[in-house]
Amino acid sequence: MAGNRSRKAVRQSRALGIALTPKAEKYMQRRPYRPGEHGRGRVKESDYSVRLKEKQRLRAQYGIREAQMRKVWEEARRAEGMSGENLIELLEMRLDALVLRAGFARTIAQARQVVVHRHILVDGQLVDRPSFRVKPGQVVQVKPRSQASSQFMVAAQGQHADVLPIVPDYLKVELEKLRFELVRRPKRAEVPVTCDVQMVVEHYSR
């Protein structure tokens, strides 16, 4: 099962042109083209397909379904400010995304699993919903009983740093204690996702 998920992630990464996992990144260095027998050929993409692909890239980086993405988009559209920037900021405040940014996991799928398996506390309360939106000032930590497990001991030693971006300034992380605080709302320019957000806005606004 894990092998199938891994192969699916590699194939999806090649189709979208962006590495979604460390394994996919290594694979794409050897085969930097789309999957399939015609993967090396040139494809003329329509304006619609270009915008659709950009939306799919963003959604894949957060590992969410289309219904979830559209729900966040509607909230971003209604909020004050630029809709595209609002969208990225709201997605980034998801609990699973911040668990990944803090270095508690290597991939967004692993971060989601950590949350669903009830290893994470927010302000001392157990939260098992990856979509939970963390608010500025809230403290997130691995619950004490889970900290002795091998996966978190590895994380506490900083061994995921080789595959993750530098911790962004909107997080205050105490990795050895497996805890972090969201000090403020993220800004689009700081969020380590690859996305032409204007394309996503145009896709949803059509």
**Domains along the chain?**
94-188 (3.10.290.10)
Higher pLDDT, 132 or 47: 132
Task: Identify the band that residue 85 occupies on the pLDDT scale cut at 50, 70 and 90.
Answer: very high
C-alpha distances out from residue 149 to 81, 101, 106, 130, 162, Å: 43, 20, 16, 20, 21
For CA atoms 36, 17, 112, 152, give the dihedral sign.
Answer: positive
Nearest to 131 by CA among 145, 147, 111, 146: 111
**Average pLDDT of the chain to the nearest whole number:** 89
Report, as an integer, the average pLDDT of 178-201.
Answer: 96
**Residue 15 CB burial class (10 angstroms; 0-12, 13-18, ≥19):** middle
Report, as an integer, the average pLDDT of 112-139.
Answer: 98
The pLDDT of residue 199: 96
The pLDDT of residue 18: 76
Of 35-44, 54-63, 79-88, 188-197, least confident by mean pLDDT is 35-44
pLDDT tens readout for residues 24-78: 566 556 655 555 544 455 667 889 999 999 999 999 999 999 999 999 999 999 9
Is the predicted pLDDT of residue 13 greater than 80, yes or no? no
**What's at 149, amino acid-wise?**
S
